[in-house]
Amino acid sequence: MEALRNKARELLAAGTVKVVIGYGRGSGGAARAVFIRDAARSGALIYDDSCRQNLAVYLMKPEVRRLGKAALVASPATLRTVLQLAAENQVPEGGLLLLAPAGGEVAVLAELSAVEARVAAQDQDLGRAEREELARYEAMTLEQRRDFWQEQFARCIKCYACRAACPLCYCARCTVECNQPQWIPVPAHDLGNLEWNVMRAMHLAGRCVDCGDCSRACPAGIPLHLLNRRLIAVVRESFAVQAGRSAKSDNALSTFKPDDPEDFIR
């Protein structure tokens, strides 16, 4: 934590970056995002197990971009997010510093290739607990899954917190706001809730890096990350690619191979 504060102080004092986006202590002991522009305030930075939000979400906000070059405190999931954003041409090379804390030290990553190397050193696959969780749902019958999701989606209040929390849901104009035609009904009813959640998952297919912030942001406690994880698995099995691994990759659904495997089109 001290190493992180010192590094932030150093970067701000030298003018290398204009803002350090990190975690600070919020109300009730919770971690919250802080935007530090003054080196003297670097002491407000914290980094511990309570720091779970994917701060890359702020990189896409115009008001944050206006602050100037940023240094971002980056968890492993945030590093993957930055690679995916770079692959979508949203992060210019050299336009961002990443501060990756690990074991009392803090690594400063300026090059996307350095981020790729660090991500490659991480566990590439879902953890055992995550795999078992997904397998539990996949083992259900179709009717059980349908009932499960209808029960979950019935609690959705269409607040779009999942969208706001997601660093990859950055479209300036979302389909939800399109009303000619109205793709997603405005009121929170069963049909519209299903359509919204299908659309959210599909628009993140081949792009989601599994940070889990959608589920953490959901005030109704809907396990939205399961939908994304399922699609990560489908994309990996079918096309042998995974988002957030490279700053140069094409999105799985914006490219193709002439021999993509399928057995259902006759």
- The residues binding other proteins (CB under 8 A) are 137-138, 142-150, 175, 182-183, 185-187, 189-192, 194-195, 198-199, 201-202, 205-206, 226-227, 230-231, 233-235, 238-239, 252-258, 260-262, 264-266
Q: Which one, 18 or 230, has the nearer CB to other proteins?
A: 230
User: Which residue in 87, 85, 84, 96 sits closest to 248, CA to CA?
Assistant: 87
Q: Which one, 66 or 257, has the nearer CB to other proteins?
A: 257
Cα 27 to Cα 33, 50, 165, 259: the distances in Å are: 12, 13, 19, 54
Q: What is the dihedral of CA 220, 156, 253, 226, to 10 degrees?
A: 40
Q: Please report how close the Cβ of residue 259 comes to other proteins at its closest, in angstroms.
A: 9
Three-class DSSP category at 259: coil
* Dist CA 248 CA 238 (whole Å): 20
Q: Which one, 34 or 227, has the nearer CB to other proteins?
A: 227
Q: Please report how close the Cβ of residue 18 comes to other proteins at its closest, in angstroms.
A: 40
Q: Which one, 15 or 221, has the nearer CB to other proteins?
A: 221
Q: Please report how close the Cβ of residue 6 comes to other proteins at its closest, in angstroms.
A: 45
* Dist CA 193 CA 162 (whole Å): 13
Task: Report residue 140 CA to chain centroid gap.
Answer: 28
Q: Please report how close the Cβ of residue 204 comes to other proteins at its closest, in angstroms.
A: 11
Q: Please report how close the Cβ of residue 145 comes to other proteins at its closest, in angstroms.
A: 4
Q: Please report how close the Cβ of residue 225 comes to other proteins at its closest, in angstroms.
A: 13
* Dist CA 256 CA 239 (whole Å): 9
Could you tell me the two tokens for 11? 């970067």
Q: Please report how close the Cβ of residue 137 comes to other proteins at its closest, in angstroms.
A: 7
Phi, psi of 83 (to 5 degrees): -65, -40
Q: Which one, 118 or 203, has the nearer CB to other proteins?
A: 203
Q: Please report how close the Cβ of residue 103 comes to other proteins at its closest, in angstroms.
A: 37
Q: Which one, 35 or 183, has the nearer CB to other proteins?
A: 183
Contacts of 16 (CB under 8 A, 6+ apart): 69, 71, 97
* Dist CA 9 CA 1 (whole Å): 12
- Side chain identity at residue 6, one-letter code: N
Q: Which one, 9 or 200, has the nearer CB to other proteins?
A: 200
Q: Which one, 20 or 224, has the nearer CB to other proteins?
A: 224
The residue to which tokens 């991480």 are assigned: 122
- Side chain identity at residue 157, one-letter code: I
